Chain A
Amino acid sequence: MELLLWLVPWEPSLSVVIVTAVTAMLFVKGCLGCKLFFRQKLFFWTGLLSLYVVSHTQLDYYAEHEFFVHQLKSLVLHHLGPFFIILACPEKALSSGFPIAGKRLLRMVSAWKPVQCLVNVFLHPVAAVIVFVGLIIFWLLPPIHFVAMLDWRIYRLMNWSMAVNGLMFWGLVLDSDSKWSPGSRIAMMLAVVPPQILTGALIFFTPHELYPIYTLCGRAFTGVSSITDQQIGGLILWMNAAMMSVIGILIVIYKELRQPRLILGSTLPTKNST
């Protein structure tokens, strides 16, 4: 019973429910049509569920009222969740689960000039790195963070922008059929590390409270002081930056090494499959 109460959304959002449900349905439908490895399904569901759990359960209360929990939530929204979804290579399953009319609409939209321009700009390596890092720093700027934690509309914009940008970035760098070379994709992952470490370290080493909004609205855990909270939050950003990029780089290298021996190049080989 207690556990079920945890699943009650802290801030009910129809858009989160619809997007999660539609994606899940498309994937299930697609899974029936094309054969997927077990690990692909595992990665996909881990990614999708983790995104849902951090944005639509009671966990959100703690993310709103404790800086380090907020940082953990960002880690899932921007890094882990999208990373796992992309790792599953779900494009084939998702698109085969898509209804014909939807596919036609998607083709029409993607053929539209301004959309193409936007995609070209945002999926350019330099722009992708700048947007990825810029978004993290932007939402952590003290005055911006203050308003984002207070105003539920801006709070939702922050969460959505993090998740969508995470999908875009990891989709760009982990895609082995990408038009960008593995070298440039590895360089992208390396390029996002130093700014994140710097931001995390800056938060960690700041001796005064950078984000007073958590004190003003009240902290979820009374035992954690404001500076400790801030330091843990800084550390999370500091460490996860390097961690995620290293894992990503290893995956790209591994995929490239395995490429010639692969029969179907679209799936990720791991040790289990050999």
Chain B
Amino acid sequence: MHNRLFRARGLVFGRYILTIALMLLLNGCGTEKKWQLHDITGHLPDLRFSMRSDAGQPVTDQTYRGYLVMLFFGYTSCQAECPSTLFRLAKIVQGLGDNAKRARILFVTLDPGRDTPQVLHRYVTAFAAGHAIGLTGSESEIAALAKRYRAAFRPGKSETNDITHSAAVYVFDPQGHARLLVTPDDAIAKAANELRHLLETSR
């Protein structure tokens, strides 16, 4: 009796193992491409915001539907990271070739007090005219967007010139899904290649 019970339990246990193994196997088959950049597909929410552009117009995520969006947070008085990231992004956009017209860089200011739309406009067009857009809004709107993408931001700290900000660039596909992270360590050519592939596969 005990033996039979034991065997029955063993059988059930075996079936569990088999199911898990099968699931793992199917999962393994499902992945098409191994991205060279950090793949964040499914881990962060879709692009959603409602802010003001550097032209002073209200814009939402819908404005950029159909574009590959590179979103990042910074401020114009930033000494090192922000200019270098914008410079790198401008190079990456150049590297996209014909696809460049389908890509947009969204620079969200973390210092809305000082970064007026005019200041933002002058700043982003100096790097990538036609491709980069500065975004601003109320402090709570900016804080909500930063929180949505887990970027560090504490409102009310802009006077101290000690604004913490994220180094990552969040890449969204033309459908608005969060797909990749571009980090400061990624080579420009590699990132451009990956983004071109993303654009071509999500046509």
**Do A and B come from the same complex?**
yes
On A, residues with C-beta under 8 Å from B are: 61, 64-65, 146-147, 149-151, 154, 212, 215-222
* Residues in B whose Cβ lies below 8 Å from that of A146: 38
Which 3 residue pairs are nearest across A and B when measured between Cβ atoms? Answer: A218-B152, A216-B168, A218-B166
| Cβ contact within 8 Å between B164 and A216 | no
* Residues in B whose Cβ lies below 8 Å from that of A150: 40, 43-44, 150
| Cβ contact within 8 Å between B162 and A217 | no
Q: A146-B38, A150-B40, A151-B43 are in contact. List 19 more A-B contacts (CB 8 A).
A: A149-B150, A151-B42, A151-B44, A212-B183, A215-B167, A216-B166, A216-B167, A216-B181, A216-B183, A217-B150, A217-B152, A217-B166, A218-B73, A218-B166, A219-B152, A219-B164, A220-B152, A220-B164, A221-B164
The CA-CA distance from A5 to B167 in the complex, in Å, is 28
Check if B153 is an interface residue, CB within 8 A of chain A. yes
Chain B residue with Cβ nearest A117: B9
* Residues in A whose Cβ lies below 8 Å from that of B150: 64, 149-150, 217
Taking CB atoms and an 8 Å cut-off, the chain B residues in 129-161 that contact chain A are 149-154
Tally A-B pairs: CB < 8 A. 45
Chain B residue with Cβ nearest A155: B150
* Residues in B whose Cβ lies below 8 Å from that of A220: 152, 154, 164
The CA-CA distance from A220 to B164 in the complex, in Å, is 6
Known interface pairs A64-B150, A149-B150, A150-B43; A222-B166 also in contact (CB < 8 Å): no
Minimum CB–CB distance for A227 against chain B, Å: 15
Contact with A along B49-72 (1 / 0, CB 8 A): 000000000000000000000000
The CA-CA distance from A64 to B151 in the complex, in Å, is 9
B-side interface residues, number (CB < 8 Å): 20
Helix, strand, loop or mixed for chain B's interface? Answer: loop
Check if B165 is an interface residue, CB within 8 A of chain A. yes
Chain A residue with Cβ nearest B39: A147
* Residues in A whose Cβ lies below 8 Å from that of B167: 215-216, 218
On B, residues with C-beta under 8 Å from A are: 38, 40, 42-44, 73, 149-154, 162, 164-168, 181, 183
Minimum CB–CB distance for A209 against chain B, Å: 10
A222 interface neighbour in B38, B43, B44, B162, Cβ under 8 Å: B162
* Residues in B whose Cβ lies below 8 Å from that of A147: 43
Chain A residue with Cβ nearest B146: A218
Known interface pairs A147-B43, A150-B40, A150-B43; A218-B183 also in contact (CB < 8 Å): no
Minimum CB–CB distance for A255 against chain B, Å: 37
Sampled A-B contacts (10; CB under 8 Å): A64-B150, A149-B150, A150-B43, A154-B43, A216-B38, A218-B151, A218-B164, A218-B167, A221-B164, A222-B164
* Residues in B whose Cβ lies below 8 Å from that of A65: 152, 164
Chain B residue with Cβ nearest A149: B150
* Residues in A whose Cβ lies below 8 Å from that of B73: 218
Known interface pairs A150-B40, A151-B43, A151-B44; A218-B181 also in contact (CB < 8 Å): no
Minimum CB–CB distance for B50 against chain A, Å: 21
Chain A residue with Cβ nearest B44: A150
| Cβ contact within 8 Å between B44 and A217 | no
Minimum CB–CB distance for A37 against chain B, Å: 42
Chain A residue with Cβ nearest B160: A222
* Residues in A whose Cβ lies below 8 Å from that of B40: 150
Minimum CB–CB distance for A200 against chain B, Å: 25
